[in-house]
Amino acid sequence: MNRSLLRNRSGIVFTTSSITGGGSTIFLRRPWLSKKITISAFSREVYKLTIVNNITIIQGLVSLEVKSDHIYMHLVESAPFNKGKMKVYAGVPGNLVAFVCRVSFRRGFDGTVSFLSKTQLIDHYIESLGAIHIGGQRMIIETKAALKLIDKYFKN
């Protein structure tokens, strides 16, 4: 996996890595997470985004579940220092979503990913991820958009 984040102030690009939480059940608690994430080995997988040479600092997290015909994304969360106008690294959510799309392809789901969006972010996800609003807060990323995200965030 060869992905990168852009450090906003310096313009330097850092290589990233994703690491899954293992074990049967893990409880992750970070001050910047709005809720505790419970990961069951039988239903959810959680990946953290870190910089290759600094794996102790989590840049963002994604929680996903393998459904019968797609991947459902329960949570995508950036660390607080990667949010807003003063964020340290740009591209954290995009990296995580592209990773989930890649997981979807590897699991035989043609890149299909679904998730629930906050109402105020629906248009943003349509524009930035190529997601389709399918009603209520439900959104889906289909094959073509998934390929674009993977191409944008993965070099290999």
Domain edges within the chain: 3-153
Nearest 5°: the CA angle 106, 107, 108 is 90
Q: What is the full DSSP assignment across 25-93?
A: EEEE--TT-SSPEEEETTTEEEEEEEETTBTTS--EEEEEEE-SSSEEEEEEEE-GGGSSTT-SEE-HH
Q: With 0.75 as the threshold, say if the pTM is over it.
A: yes
Determine contact, residues 141/129, Cβ cutoff 8 Å: yes
72 class by beta-carbon count within 10 Å (0-12 exposed, 13-18 middle, 19+ buried): middle
- Give, for all 156 residues of the chain, the pLDDT tens digit: 445 565 655 555 656 655 445 433 344 444 544 444 454 445 788 888 888 788 888 888 899 999 999 999 999 999 999 999 899 988 999 999 999 999 999 999 999 999 999 999 999 999 999 999 999 999 999 999 999 999 998 876
CATH superfamily of 3-153: Gcn5-related N-acetyltransferase (GNAT) (3.40.630.30)
